[in-house]
A = this chain, B = another copy of it.
Amino acid sequence: MTTLFVRDATLDGATVSVRCEDGLIAALGDDIEAAPGDEVLEAGDAILCPPLVNGHTHAAMTLFRGYGGDLPLMRWLRERIWPAEDRLDAEDVYWGTRLACLEMIRSGTARFWDMYWEPEAVARAVVDAGLRVTVGPPLLDGDGDRGRPRDAAETSLELAGFHERVGASIAPHAIYTVDETSLRFAAGFAAGHDLPVQIHLSETRAEVEECVREHGMRPAAYLDAVGLLGPRTLLAHGVWLDEGELELIAERGATVVTNPVANQKLAVGGVFPYPAARDAGAAVGLGTDGPGSNDSLDLFADVKAFALAQKHAAGDAAAISAADAWDIATGRRAPLLGARPLAPGEPADFLLLRAAASELAFGELAEGLVYSASGSVVDATVVAGLVLMAGGAVPGAEEVVAKARERAARIGLG
């Protein structure tokens, strides 16, 4: 049994230690001691903190960074991304995902939701890196052999038993790339096999207009009509959702994951209506989107971008508090995402933040985390009781970067 003892961290101003057994928190408090044989991590007053949750990404797209990122969306996709994706194989996806995992470990993300080709390679990379993922291959119509609904669904199902840190999902790409028959199939398959669903929804205004024109209703209502809007549905983006849709989403218990940086970088033109989502009672999470359209995986940057975009859009500096934004970034406003509290019996996933970091040393901690800090304040990342980073160092990091560069070069990038 793997055991870990983290000595003398700071939690809510008090000094606490944490003992982990077999991937879970066995004890947390000021009066616990290490047992013989425990691996010991001296926290040295570092701040004990829940990890961040990246609710939407395409992790392997680290390989596509810096590759035409200032082009208009359709030119970027047609001239750069799609031709390069045609050249991707499983090993490319594996190393692109490993690189993403490395950057997530460094910046305090323990868990992410991923939609990408070669999902078995994604899952392998995540397991090898030590993180947690909910993964699914894009399911779509009309892209040749790739993504065919039945194949994609079967591939998802095969991943269900892959590893305890890997969750499988059904991932219909979007309502404009998957026809109604296939959406209904995806809904039935997900329900039949008890799998969550992730889908891009309401990212661009054109998508909304096309949906209304073709189906006579807005995207969330259409998703509901085809049976895909439920408590295990994750909707990525949601930029153009209106109040009625947000009420429906809340009623069905679905989760919206906002991707503020990617929305701005791709210039979709709108801002996710968080105040309306909050008022409707909808579950909300935060994502980076793929590193080709962000291009960072440091969620500390995205939680700040989220809060700033909300203040800007509302014309009100008080539109969202740092504490709210931080809760969203750590998955506490969306149970579907899988984050759990720091408590005995729960998964041993947590961060240690450098106590000496001046970004966190003044005023309210939540304001420091959201407005001052970057991922570089993370000193240690622990997932399932395993120390993935300590003292800012991730074992094997150089090999991961070198291999990812080789794979990018292989497909003509890098």
Question: Residues on A close to B: CB < 8 A?
Answer: 62-67, 69-73, 76, 99, 102-103, 261, 263-267, 269, 291, 294-296, 298, 301, 304-305, 307-309, 311-312, 314-322, 356, 358-359, 361-365, 367-368, 371-376, 397-398, 400-401, 404-405, 408, 413-414
Residues of B within 8 A of A362 (CB): 62-67, 404-405, 408, 413-414
Residues of B within 8 A of A318 (CB): 70-72
Task: Report Cα–Cα, A269/B310, bound state, in Å.
Answer: 11
Q: Give the number of times this chain occurs in the complex, counting copies.
A: 2
Known: A62-B362, A64-B363. 9 other contacts (CB 8 A): A63-B362, A66-B362, A66-B372, A69-B364, A264-B312, A267-B311, A267-B316, A374-B376, A375-B376
Smallest Cβ distance from A330 to chain B, in angstroms?
18
Contact between B66 and A265, CB atoms less than 8 A apart? no
Given contacts A264-B309, A316-B72, A374-B298, contact A398 B66 (CB under 8 A): no
Residues of B within 8 A of A408 (CB): 362
Task: Report Cα–Cα, A266/B319, bound state, in Å.
Answer: 10
Q: List 20 A-B contacts (CB under 8 A).
A: A62-B362, A63-B362, A66-B362, A66-B367, A69-B322, A70-B322, A265-B308, A265-B317, A267-B315, A267-B317, A295-B367, A295-B371, A296-B304, A305-B308, A358-B404, A361-B414, A362-B405, A362-B408, A363-B414, A374-B376
Contact between B311 and A264, CB atoms less than 8 A apart? yes
